[in-house]
Amino acid sequence: GFISSEDPEESKQPRAPVVAVMGHVDHGKTSLLDALRSTDVAAGEAGGITQHIGAYQVQLKSGDKITFLDTPGHAAFSAMRSRGAQATDIVILVVAADDGVMPQTIEAINHAKASGVPIIVAVNKVDKPDANPDKVLQQLLQYEIVVEQMGGEVQAIPVSALKKQGLEELAEAITLQSEILELKANPDRSAEGVVIESQVDKGRGPVATVLVKRGTLSRGQIVVAGSQWGKVRALVNERGQQMKDAGPSLPAEILGLDGAPEPGELFAVVESESRARELVDYRQRQRRDKSSGMSSGGASLEQMMAKLKDNEVQELALVVKADVQGSAEAISSSLEKLGNEEVRARVIHAAPGGVSESDVLLAKTSGSPIFAFNVRANKQARELAEAEGVEIRYYSVIYDVLDDVKNTMEGLLAPEKRETFIGYAEVLEVFNISKLGKVAGCRVTEGVVRRGSGVRLLRNDTVIHEGQLSTLKRFKDEVSEVRAGTECGMGFENYHDIQVGDKIECFTVEEFKRTL
């Protein structure tokens, strides 16, 4: 099945952590990823030249495994986050010991914090004569990262990617953090996961690197990835070796898709080619229909895929600044009570004082507006906000803040759709008409059918197509509606598999704005 819910706890087994490496440019992200890859004990025996596939897994001497996203920088992380497909369990924050905390270090901290992913600090380049690891730890305090060395809980490991020092300690820190997180997934189900990267290869065709989140992906299975689908012709690891299957947290290149899906898109195994076609069709149609106002009552691929998200709740990230600590606290706690099971507000930062540049940067990385209660932004912050497109909203009445956020949240709620059946028809004959494709000669058996309304085609009481009634004819004329007892011709947009005996149901859909 495609509509997958949470797996029962007893079906889950421990899985490897998925780790992203982030930090300021030139602080050694790429070097560290390369160095960590060389610690893989399984690599030695296997040999082979490693190639970049966007992610790799290493096996430690202890037997523990770690999956690294081999995409330094924040782009991949953001791409996944913006699609709600957070695949990262742990962030390694690389800070060069000679350079210290820099703007992209702060950005990485904010990214990790906003998505609730724990951080491990790798203080890199400790081999350099001007390295000052203690200063780095001191600087991090400013960003509420209190490392163990200073009585906090964040692990900080001195490393040298160049000299390959501290790598084992870093791996141990990851293993420890991963034990705390109790990462688990059910390997015995059809696979679901996320696309890490993709390209169209000259020789091999579309190639997508995917990370399995749960279940096991096998060669020969049919997958839908974003709006692409295909039969998995081959599964390949980063050493270019063919794999039979890939379980939770294991990255693999898949060959056989009909196109390259976007990074951050979700994938899932489906039971048949026709199901895959149907889902991909459905998705494309929904994209088109968005503007025409036609929508369907059934679950869309997006809705089904949405079930794969770690976090099914839509979160509205907010930054709150207020005149005094008391009002900052009051506002944030009221805001966090506003949501329901579908949408909620998450205050990522609430503090007294004017709006500063660092507030603006934080708001930018989490895509949130700033709510300023009885305080103002200074000139630099205003300019930065303007340049970065961050919205600052000013208030002097707490009620207005709450009202405003409530309205925004209601806008995020999917509208309630109510379907009304208006008529039924059955297919008596099928005609091939050159310009229109297949047209069904039908008799309306109940109610009324209208051109432009929603239709479902039923065969043996099973829905085989859902779409829009694009053609409705009485003899040679295009008409807008036909009533029960009358014969007519019906055509469906982009759908031609019609057979005599199929039943057709017609419906209209009304959308209602929902409130909290």
Write out the residues near ligand GDP by the rule CB under 6 A.
23, 25-31, 72, 124-125, 127-128, 160-162
Comparing CB distances to ligand GDP, the nearer of 84 and 158 is 158
Comparing CB distances to ligand GDP, the nearer of 108 and 246 is 108
User: Has 126 been labeled as part of a binding site?
Assistant: yes
User: Has 103 been labeled as part of a binding site?
Assistant: no
User: Has 24 been labeled as part of a binding site?
Assistant: yes
**Rounded to the nearest whole angstrom, what is the least distance from the CB of residue 155 to ligand GDP in the complex?**
18
- Antiparallel, parallel or unpaired: β 245-246 and 481-483: unpaired
**Residue length, the chain?**
516
**120 backbone φψ class: left, alpha, beta (φ>0; ψ -120 to 50):** beta
User: Has 23 been labeled as part of a binding site?
Assistant: yes
In whole angstroms, give the CA distance from residue 14 to residue 27: 32
Locate 379 and state its tokens.
């000139």
Comparing CB distances to ligand GDP, the nearer of 124 and 296 is 124
3-state secondary structure of 135: helix
**Rounded to the nearest whole angstrom, what is the least distance from the CB of residue 374 to ligand GDP in the complex?**
41
Residues with Cβ < 8 Å from 197, sequence gap 6 or more? Answer: 53, 54, 71, 76, 208, 209, 263
User: Has 111 been labeled as part of a binding site?
Assistant: no
**Rounded to the nearest whole angstrom, what is the least distance from the CB of residue 32 to ligand GDP in the complex?**
7
**Rounded to the nearest whole angstrom, what is the least distance from the CB of residue 110 to ligand GDP in the complex?**
18
Indicate if the alpha-carbon torsion angle 297, 300, 302, 306 is positive or negative.
positive
**Rounded to the nearest whole angstrom, what is the least distance from the CB of residue 27 to ligand GDP in the complex?**
5
User: Has 30 been labeled as part of a binding site?
Assistant: yes
Comparing CB distances to ligand GDP, the nearer of 107 and 245 is 107
User: Has 194 been labeled as part of a binding site?
Assistant: no
User: Has 367 been labeled as part of a binding site?
Assistant: no
**Rounded to the nearest whole angstrom, what is the least distance from the CB of residue 145 to ligand GDP in the complex?**
19
**Rounded to the nearest whole angstrom, what is the least distance from the CB of residue 169 to ligand GDP in the complex?**
14
Residues with Cβ < 8 Å from 465, sequence gap 6 or more? Answer: 455, 456, 457, 492, 495, 497
User: Has 25 been labeled as part of a binding site?
Assistant: yes
Comparing CB distances to ligand GDP, the nearer of 105 and 228 is 105
Locate 454 and state its tokens.
């929603």
Comparing CB distances to ligand GDP, the nearer of 72 and 251 is 72
**Rounded to the nearest whole angstrom, what is the least distance from the CB of residue 21 to ligand GDP in the complex?**
8
User: Has 125 been labeled as part of a binding site?
Assistant: yes
**Rounded to the nearest whole angstrom, what is the least distance from the CB of residue 237 to ligand GDP in the complex?**
23
Residues with Cβ < 8 Å from 168, sequence gap 6 or more? Answer: 39
In whole angstroms, give the CA distance from residue 69 to residue 71: 6
- CA-wise closest residue to 7 among 245, 213, 180: 213
Comparing CB distances to ligand GDP, the nearer of 165 and 445 is 165
Locate 467 and state its tokens.
């779409």
User: Has 449 been labeled as part of a binding site?
Assistant: no
Pair 111, 317: CB distance under 8 Å: no
What is the CA angle 194-197-203, rounded to 5? 125
Indicate if the alpha-carbon torsion angle 78, 82, 87, 89 is positive or negative.
positive
Comparing CB distances to ligand GDP, the nearer of 131 and 266 is 131
- CA-wise closest residue to 372 among 355, 348, 389, 391: 355
In whole angstroms, give the CA distance from residue 38 to residue 327: 52
User: Has 281 been labeled as part of a binding site?
Assistant: no
Comparing CB distances to ligand GDP, the nearer of 15 and 27 is 27
Residues with Cβ < 8 Å from 248, sequence gap 6 or more? Answer: 13, 15, 16, 185, 186, 187, 212, 213, 214, 215, 216
As annotated, the binding site for GTP includes 23-30, 70-74, 124-127
As annotated, the binding site includes 23-30, 70-74, 124-127
